[in-house]
């Protein structure tokens, strides 16, 4: 299944990246993994030290090759300049679309496959350009620039959320424009479903999500209404457990998870237990616990002058930034404070590919828990 580059940052490359009579648009997206090991001295061989349930992916490079020509309101040089202005900047959104597989020969069946929209964070590391001139009646009339673009991917591909990403048909020339949204239908923005519906000047516009990023109300609906790519649940009292089985045929990379814990007390312990399928043998599982002593959190807050731990404070943990945990009080992150979790994985409540069971426990506490799981794809 091809994953076609559509947009880098605010530049809709797909609208301008063309196949020519000389060369087509190509995509190269290899995936390689590393082995965490130590070479043994004085004897042959090596000791493998990596955890078997946690694959170590090497730096992934996405390469696409195509051409820029002067058309669609921009000269080829303006397009090259725009692309290069994004180079070297870490963590910019990379948006692509995938075709659903067609179960026929793809030539005579008349299939018009739907598009799946995905996003990852990455950095443009190389832009190789070569200019060819095809002489016509006027000098440079057939000039085009062939481009090789290398992107170092920093995250797996995840679903492009129609809650915060809007597809617009008209470009915004003033970045400070306060234009209202134009494509809202129901509760979510409408994303193009077919190649034919991609406007020549269309692009994705991201609305600010800082206020909802850590909202369990948002987590509970982010992957509802037929949107795949994850699972979320709002605050629930314990005991509570949920079994998550990722559709590995589509979302085969390691998932990520965020937790929110509230209804806090100044003492007691909260625990997140994750049980996961190892992937080595069917029916083989392992588990790990992540514990937080609320009395220690309360003491640390008092020593920093923030007062006691409040019942309406929210502890956020999981695969989050700032890592590995923080406290939200009255919609603001308490600065310079990190709750001290005791955990076994790479972050509290770590989950893995394939199947996971998430359980919450209170010991001397009455906390409530919410979480958001987001699947990933290589």
State how far the Cα of 348 lies from the Cα of 187, in Å rounded to an integer.
32
Q: Which residue has the higher pLDDT, 229 or 49?
A: 229
Q: Averaged over 82-103, what is the pLDDT?
A: 87
Tokens found for residue 352: 């893995």
State how far the Cα of 66 lies from the Cα of 62, in Å rounded to an integer.
14
E strands present in 40-109? 46-48, 56-57, 60-68, 92-99
Q: Give the per-residue pLDDT at 177.
A: 65
Q: Give the per-residue pLDDT at 374.
A: 95
Mean pLDDT lowest among 117-131, 222-236, 242-256? 242-256
Q: Is the pLDDT of residue 136 over 90?
A: no
Tokens found for residue 14: 């797909």
In three-state secondary structure terms, 141 is coil
pLDDT tens-digit series, residues 54-70? 777 778 899 988 888 88
Q: What are the sequence ranges of the domains in the chain? A: 3-206, 216-376
Q: How confident is the model at residue 238 (pLDDT cuts 50, 70, 90)?
A: low
Q: Give the per-residue pLDDT at 339.
A: 97
pLDDT tens-digit series, residues 190-200? 899 887 777 67
Q: What is the mean pLDDT of the chain?
A: 84
State how far the Cα of 308 lies from the Cα of 331, in Å rounded to an integer.
17
Q: Is the pLDDT of residue 146 over 80?
A: yes
Which CATH number is 3-206's, of 3.40.50.300, 1.10.8.590, 2.40.30.200, 3.30.70.580? 2.40.30.200
Q: Is the dihedral angle over the CA atoms 338, 340, 341, 342 positive or is it negative?
A: positive
DSSP conformation class of 207: P
Q: Give the per-residue pLDDT at 118.
A: 96
Cα–Cα distances in Å, from 373 out to 185, 231, 270?
25, 5, 19
Neighbouring CB atoms inside 10 A of 203's CB total 21
Q: Give the per-residue pLDDT at 333.
A: 94
Q: How confident is the model at residue 260 (pLDDT cuts 50, 70, 90)?
A: very high
Q: Give the per-residue pLDDT at 272.
A: 96
């Amino acid at each position: 299944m091809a994953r076609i580059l559509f947009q880098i940052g605010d530049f809709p490359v797909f609208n301008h990246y063309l196949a020519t009579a000389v060369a087509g648009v190509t995509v190269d997206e290899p995936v390689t993994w590393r082995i965490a090991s130590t070479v043994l001295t004085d004897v042959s061989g090596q000791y493998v030290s990596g955890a078997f349930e946690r694959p170590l992916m090497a730096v992934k490079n996405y390469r696409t090759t195509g051409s820029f020509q002067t058309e669609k309101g921009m000269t080829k040089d303006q397009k090259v300049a725009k692309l290069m202005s994004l180079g070297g900047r870490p963590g910019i959104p990379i948006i692509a679309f995938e075709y659903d597989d067609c179960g026929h020969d793809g030539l005579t069946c008349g299939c018009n496959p739907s598009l799946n929209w995905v996003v990852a964070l990455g950095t443009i590391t190389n832009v190789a350009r070569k200019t060819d001139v095809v002489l016509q009646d006027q000098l440079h009339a057939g000039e085009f620039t062939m481009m090789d673009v290398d992107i170092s991917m920093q995250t797996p591909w995840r679903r492009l959320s129609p809650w915060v990403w809007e597809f617009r048909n008209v470009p915004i020339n003033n970045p400070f424009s306060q234009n209202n949204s134009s494509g809202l239908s129901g509760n979510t923005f409408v994303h193009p479903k077919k190649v034919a519906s991609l406007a020549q000047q269309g692009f994705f516009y991201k609305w600010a999500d800082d206020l909802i990023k850590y909202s369990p109300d948002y987590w509970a609906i982010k992957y509802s209404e037929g949107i795949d790519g994850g699972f979320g649940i709002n605050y629930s009292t314990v005991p509570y457990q949920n079994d998550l089985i990722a559709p590995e045929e589509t979302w085969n990379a390691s998932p990520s998870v965020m937790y929110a814990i509230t209804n806090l007390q100044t003492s007691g312990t909260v625990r997140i237990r994750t049980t996961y399928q190892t992937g080595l043998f069917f029916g083989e599982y392992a588990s790990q616990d992540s514990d937080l002593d609320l009395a220690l959190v309360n003491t640390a807050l008092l020593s920093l002058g923030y007062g006691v731990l409040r019942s309406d404070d929210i502890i956020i943990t999981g695969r989050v930034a700032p890592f590995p945990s923080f406290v939200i009080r009255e919609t603001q992150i308490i600065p310079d404070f990190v709750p001290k979790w005791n955990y076994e994985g790479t972050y509290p409540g770590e989950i893995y590919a394939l199947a996971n069971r998430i359980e919450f426990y209170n010991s001397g506490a009455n906390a409530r828990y919410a979480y958001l799981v987001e699947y990933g794809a290589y």
